[in-house]
Every structure is written in structure tokens, then in C-alpha cells.
A and B are shown apart, each in its own frame.
Chain A
Amino acid sequence: MSPATPGSYPLLSVRNLSKHYPLRHWWGGQGSLFRAVEDVSFDIRPGETLGLVGESGSGKSTIGRAVTMLNPPTSGTVAFEGADLAKLSPREMRRMRARIQMVFQDPYGALNPRMSVGDYVAEPFRLHRPGLARAERRDEVEGLFARVGLDPRFARRYPHQFSGGQRQRICIARAIALKPSFIVADEPIAALDVSIQAQVVNLLQDLQDELGVSYLFISHDLRMVRYLCQRVAVLWRGRIVELADVDALYDDPRHPYTRRLLGAVPVPNPVEERARLAAAALMPPTHPDEGGALVEVAPGHWVAGGVEFQT
């Protein structure tokens, strides 16, 4: 009863992941639980991009932080290359950290304002490859700068001297320093100007083509998700309500919430967009309360409750 991937060995395997937060009453007594994420299962294959979409508060970022053990889950397992991350020794976990990286929405918040960006990108080498000579480390950093489209001479500069798009490139350079096999990208383009977003998305795609890295791409930009991802999971109130290959999900959405979400994306074409708005005005609001376990309604297409929803 979980959306496993047939035929290929998963790189990351998440099973029944939940993350709960106790809610305290104002008088300090024990309150109820806030179920930020509830019983979420999915796999990510080597070299694959899985998109995670849903509205704010649906648990997208919580999942991203749970699978990297930045904020470990309350229950459930996260297996990476076959190893249960919760059962690793600190030493093994340290080694694993080199294989799993994160890129965040706010590239400025991630950078250290007092550290030159070259030192920032070099940090993983100092932590994970202490034997590397200084000159070799410098060569590696210069190679990474060139790789993400930055002039290697910029390495001596400080974060405030860069634009938002350049800062995100710096964060990506650091993330790929140790040649990870998996990167969680949490809204990596949301804070960037429109004219810069395509640059960063193309860079992520190029890196995947070259390095074979897998991505968990967390985004509210449904156009970019369709473009970048092979498979997509739709979250609603902490649960996956639909998970499918990207074309199946966008062309044949089954869950009412997925339909509502995709139907709300504005189309950059005046004739189509005016028609969409007019049609949407006539549609009664849907209240997606259909939950339940995921059922496979077509090969690889999982829908909560398994109901074949009609239009």
C-alpha cells in the first residue's frame, strides 16, 4: 500500500513518515498534536527529480527537513541507499551528510556574511576531506565556481557583493562540492527575479545530466514543477493525496485537490486566461476532504482513497 517504484532501485525510500508537534495550551498544559506531516511514503530513484507541491502549511518543507534528518521525523523511516538514516552512528551519519545536500529559498540567509564566498564553498572540503592540500582545495573551488557560471575570481568577495541569482549559484556550488547523489531543493527559485529563475532551473537540470544527482524539488511554482520533475507528489494538509508521473498528474489529475490546484494556475495568454477565469467563476468551490490511503489507479499513479473522481 505504498507508492514504491517498480523496476528500479530507489535512492531514497521514505516510509510512513510523520512529523507531529505538541500544541500547548496557554496555561502550559498538554494540548493536542499538530500533525504537520502524516503517514507519507515515497521513493526517489537515482537521477530522478521528484516534485513536492501543495499550499503553504501543507508540510512540504517539513518533509524536506525530515528526509535530510535536519529535523528528524516523529515516526517512519527514511532509507538512503538502503541504510536507515535513524539507525546510523554519528560517524556514519557524517559520511552520509556529504551525500545529501540542501538548497534553500533564501540564498542570503544561508550564506555567512563574514565569510568570503570562496571559503563558504570550500567549507565542505575542510570538513569532509581534511587531507586535501590548500592548493587542491582552491582548484576545486575554482572549478565549482566555473561550473555554476560564476567567475572564479569572485571567490574572494563577500555575499553582499552578489545579486540574488548569484548567491543561489554560490549555494548550489557548495551543495555539489562533495558530489552528492541527492539534493533537497526547497523553493530554490521563489526569491529570485523572474528573469533569473530560468537560469537557475537550467543549472539544476545541467547538474543532474552531468552528475546524475537526484532532486526533491519543493516548489509552489506549478509551471516550473511540470518542466523540471519526472514525478510529482501533491500534499494536502500533511498527506500525499496524489503521486504520479508528471504528465499523468498534469494531464489526468484524479484528486479534486490536484484539480483545484492545477486549475488555479494563471495562463500567460490573454485569450486563454480570460476564458479560464470566466469558467472558474462558474465552478462551485470544492472542498477536498477525501483522504485515506493511496491506491494505485493506473501504473505508478497513486490517489488518496483510490476514487476515480469524475469531472
Chain B
Amino acid sequence: MSGSESMVGSEPAPLLDVRDLGVAFDSEGGAVHAVNGVSYTLREGETLGIVGESGSGKSVHVLAMLGLIPRPPGRITGGQVLFEGRDLLAFPERELRKVRGGRIGFVFQDPMSSLNPGMTVAAQIAEPLRIHLGLDGRAARLRARELLDLVRIPDAAARLDQYPHEFSGGQRQRVMIAMGLSCRPKLLIADEATTALDVTVQAEIIALVQDLKREIGMAIIWITHDLGVVAGIADTVQVMYAGRILERGPVDDIFADPRSAYTLGLLRSLPDLSRGRAGRKRLHQIEGAPPDMRDPPPGDPFAARNVYATPRCRLEPPPLAQASSAAPGHLVAAWYDLPALLAAERAAPGAVP
């Protein structure tokens, strides 16, 4: 599976190269295989949108690569995560700490639990600057103020000495982004960074990240369950389910020509914001629920919910491979051929899936 898309030899080495990563959590009922053989690459400056629901492994796999899963009960069952050519999984914690918040910035969903309530905002932003960049107190404070300006916190100078609870939810998330960006990372990882925010605040944060990306030129991994957000900011989209990548490809191709039945189901289940009541149809729904990861199905994890599943899907997990007659780099893990099935459906008169 790994290296399936590193077909062009002349391309520069990727910024991030995840190879066959596996993560499990030991529990009383047996091991939960949260991430199973995940492989992908990220170029410098590329924005990768990772879509998935709870239990898909989308968050756990980035926490694992940053050394942030509690061990035990978590453990890495295999693989490598090459960042700038070096395997993060082989780093001692001391080394990893230098990368985390330095070359790799990250922003998580809940700023209130990620920020220290007993420390002023200035102190929290300054901390990585002192650790990673070796700035002294005065220089770090100056830079902290610039960062608050950068993330458009009004009246930044006056707010440096305030505590997190004195900021609104959107402002706290901006502070988190300021911290994530403080050391000019090569890679920013945002995990459901706007999910808890109102849609208007989300729009501001996304606009801000887009601006900063242009200024700093970093790569981004944007993890979300919202296909709308991904559509606007991602170069590449990766759909995860039950600890595996089911589909991956250029953003336009994923939306226009989905090859995984799960991706198609997600796209179809979204109501259209511009459709009036007259044209209303019953919402497309994906039946069933995600599998229990303590006892994952042997084959394609989506097979039990997939009306297009073949007998082989239930027995053998399909590899992630180039989809036939699709855009280069458009990969799918499926034994069935979705475009052919959809065409047959359209051809059959009166047939409704």
C-alpha cells in the first residue's frame, strides 16, 4: 500500500511520509485497532483535508505521530512517520518535543482545555518561542504581541496579560492558532479546529488560516467532518473510516467523481442549502452504524453498510490503489467499481438505490 503514489521519481521528497502506520489501544475487552496501515504523503505547502467520523482514526493517527497518545493503553503497532526525512516515531520524547510546536504546529478542537487557565496568554504564547527559538523574555513578549495582531485579536497589547477565560470562544481559538503558528511551522495540523465555533467565526478562522498559509507557506493537515470546509481549502482530500483510508485524491475529483461508496453516501446525505421546499426529497441516509473497533469486520470496514458491496468486500480488505480511469493520484480502497454501478443504476428504468 505504501508508496503507491510515489510513482514520479523526479519529485522532491515529501514533507511528510506516513508509512503503514498502525495504532491500537488495549482495553479489557481486547485491543481496539484504531488505525490500520495508514499510508500517505504530504508535499510542502500542500493542504490535506482529512474527513471522517468518530472512530475513523483521523485524530488518533495525528496524535500518534506527534507522540501525544497515552502509552499505555495506546501503542504504535507499526509503521513510520517520516517528517523532513526523519522518523518521528523513532524520536525520543525530548527530540519530539522540539518538533512539536516548532516545525509542526497544531490546533485542537477545544481551546479551553488546551490552554492553561492559570497562565496569561502572553506567557503561553511565549513558552514555545523560548523553547524552540531561544528568544529571551522581552523578545518573546514582543513576538507574542505580533502573533496576536497576526490572528487579528483587537487591541493585542492590552490583552497580552489577560487569562484565557477573558477571551471569547473564537478568540481563544485564534490564540491557539497563534501558538500553533508561533514558530513558523512547516506543517500545521488542525483537528476539528472550528467545529465548536459558530459558522460566522468559523468563516473568519478559515479566512485567517488561508491568509497565513499564503504568508508563511506552510503545509496544512485539516481534520474535519465537514465536507464543505474541506471543499474550499483542501488541495487533496482523504476520507477515513474505521482506521483506514477509503479514498484519497485531488479535491475536485473527490467531489465530482467519488469512487468510494462511503464518500458518495456522505456527499449525498448533505442537504442542499440552495434547494427550496418544493424540490425537497427524502434525505439520503447511510444505513447502520460504524463497526465496533474491538471486533472489526475482516474485509472492507464499510461493507456492512454498503449497498454496492460484493461478497469479496466482506472477506478481504481492499488495498488503497489508483482508481481506474480516474485522475492521477485518485486512490480508492474498493473491490467494486462505483462509476460502473452508478451507470447501471441510471440505465435501469425505475431503479432507485
CB distance from B214 to the nearest CB of A (A): 11
Q: Is the CB of B255 within 8 A of A163?
A: no
**Chain A residues, CB < 8 A from B266:** 194-195
Chain A positions within 8 Å of B305 at CB level: 195
Task: Please tell me the size bucket of the interface on A.
Answer: 35 or more
CB-based contact B199/A222 at 8 Å: yes
Instruction: Scan B240-259; emit 1 where CB is below 8 A from any A CB, else 0.
Output: 00000000000110010000
Q: Closest B residue to A55 by CB, please name it.
A: B198
Check if B285 sits within 8 Å of A261, measured CB to CB.
no
Q: Which of A220, A224, A269, A277 contacts B207 (CB 8 A)?
A: A277
Residues of B within 8 A of A220 (CB): 198-199
Whether the pair B200, A264 counts as a contact (CB closer than 8 A) is yes
Q: Please state if B232 and A198 are interface contacts (CB–CB under 8 Å).
A: no
Contact A281 B169, beta carbon cutoff 8 Å = no
Residues facing B in A130-167 (CB within 8 A) are: 163, 165-166
Nearest chain-B residue to A201 (Cβ)? B283
Is A193 in contact with B53, judged by CB distance below 8 angstroms?
yes
B22-46 interface with A by 8 A CB criterion: none
Question: Is A266 within 8 A of B228, CB to CB?
Answer: yes
- C-beta contact mask, B261-291 vs A, less than 8 Å → 1, else 0? 0100111011111111110101111110110
Known: A193-B54, A266-B229. A277 touches B271 (CB 8 A): no
Measured CB to CB, the closest approach of chain B to A172, in angstroms, equals 15
A251→B276 contact, CB < 8 A: yes
Given A193-B225, A224-B271, does the pair A271, B265 have CB atoms closer than 8 Å?
A: no
Known: A194-B53, A198-B285, A280-B207. A270 touches B277 (CB 8 A): no
Give bound CA distance, A167 to B283, whole Å.
20
Nearest CB of chain A from residue B233's CB, rounded to whole Å? 8
Q: How far is the CA of A264 from the CA of B203 in the complex (A)?
A: 6
Interface-centre pick from A198, A201, A274, A280 (highest chain B CB count, 10 A): A198
B231 within 8 A of A: yes
Assess whether A270 is in contact with B251, with CB atoms less than 8 Å apart: yes
Q: Which of A195, A246, A271 has a CB less than 8 Å from the CB of B269? A: A195
Q: Which residues of the other chain, A, contact B203 by a CB distance below 8 angstroms? A: 263-264, 266, 280
Contact A163 B289 (CB under 8 A): yes
Q: Are B284 and A198 in contact (CB under 8 A)?
A: yes
* Nearest neighbor of B270 in chain A, beta-carbon distance: A268
| Residue interface bits B203-241, CB-to-A below 8 A is 1, else 0 | 100110010000000000000011111011100000000
Q: How far is the CA of A205 from the CA of B266 in the complex (A)?
A: 20
* A226 touching B273, Cβ below 8 Å: yes
Whether A226 contacts B269 in the complex (CB less than 8 A), given A194-B53, A195-B290, A277-B207, comes out as: no
Q: Which of B54, B231, B269, B277 contacts A267 (CB 8 A)?
A: B231
Most buried by A among B169, B262, B276, B305: B276
Asked if A268 and B231 make an inter-chain contact with CB atoms under 8 angstroms apart, the answer reads yes
A195 pairs with B198, CB closer than 8 A:
no
Residue in contact with A197 in the complex, picked from B202, B269, B272, CB distance below 8 Å:
B269
Is A237 in the interface zone, CB < 8 Å from B? Answer: no
Query: Is A56's CB under 8 angstroms from B271's CB?
Result: no
Shortest Cβ distance from A23 into chain B, in angstroms?
Answer: 16
Q: Are B231 and A266 in contact (CB under 8 A)?
A: yes
Q: How far is the CB of A90 from chain B (nearest CB, A)?
A: 39
Interface centre among A250, A260, A264 (most CB of B within 10 A): A264
Of residues 163 through 203 on chain B, the ones whose CB sits less than 8 Å from some CB of chain A are: 169, 198-203
**In-complex Cβ contact of B232 among A202, A222, A266 (8 A):** A266
Chain A residues with CB under 8 A of B202 = 264, 266
Whether A226 touches B271, Cβ cut-off 8 Å, given contacts A246-B277, A270-B251, A270-B255, is yes
User: Counting CB contacts under 8 A, is A86 at the interface?
Assistant: no
Q: Give Cα distance in the complex from A224 to B285, angstroms.
A: 13
A290 within 8 A of B: no
Given the interface contacts A247-B277, A266-B232, A270-B232, does A194 sit within 8 Å of B289 by beta carbon?
no
Q: Please name all residues of chain A whose beta carbon is closer than 8 Å to the beta carbon of B252 when the two chains form the complex.
A: 270-271
Q: Within the assembled complex, what's the spacing in Å between the Cα atoms of A193 and B285?
A: 12
B265: chain A residues at CB < 8 Å are 195
Q: Report A231 CB to chain B, min CB distance, Å.
A: 11
Tell me which of B198, B207, B283 contacts A281 (CB under 8 A). B207
Is A196 part of the contact surface with B, judged by Cβ < 8 Å? Answer: yes
A165 and B251 alpha carbons, distance in the complex (Å): 29
Among A226, A260, A268, A274, point to the contact of B267 (Cβ < 8 A): A268
Q: Which positions 88-144 of chain A face chain B at CB distance < 8 Å?
A: none
Collect the chain B residues with CB atoms within 8 Å of residue A84's CB: none
B199 touches A273 (CB 8 A): no
- A168, B262: Cα distance in complex, Å: 22
In the docked arrangement, what's the CA distance between A266 and B227, Å?
A: 8
For the complex formed, measure the closest distance between the CB of B210 and the CB atoms of chain A, giving whole angstroms: 7
Q: Which of A222-266 contact B (CB under 8 A)?
A: 222-224, 226-227, 230, 246-247, 250-251, 260-266
**Contacts A166-B289, A195-B266, A263-B203 known; 16 new A-B pairs at CB < 8 A:** A55-B201, A56-B169, A195-B53, A195-B262, A202-B283, A247-B277, A250-B274, A261-B199, A264-B203, A265-B199, A266-B228, A266-B229, A268-B267, A273-B232, A274-B231, A281-B210
Interface pairs (27), CB distance under 8 Å: A55-B198, A163-B290, A194-B225, A194-B266, A195-B265, A195-B290, A202-B283, A220-B198, A222-B199, A224-B271, A227-B280, A251-B276, A261-B199, A264-B200, A264-B202, A268-B227, A268-B228, A268-B255, A268-B267, A268-B270, A270-B231, A270-B232, A270-B251, A274-B231, A274-B232, A280-B207, A281-B210
Residues of B within 8 A of A (CB): 53-54, 169, 198-203, 206-207, 210, 225-229, 231-233, 251-252, 255, 262, 265-267, 269-278, 280, 282-287, 289-290, 305
Give chain A's interface residues, CB within 8 Å of chain B.
Answer: 55-56, 163, 165-166, 193-199, 201-202, 205, 220, 222-224, 226-227, 230, 246-247, 250-251, 260-274, 276-277, 280-281
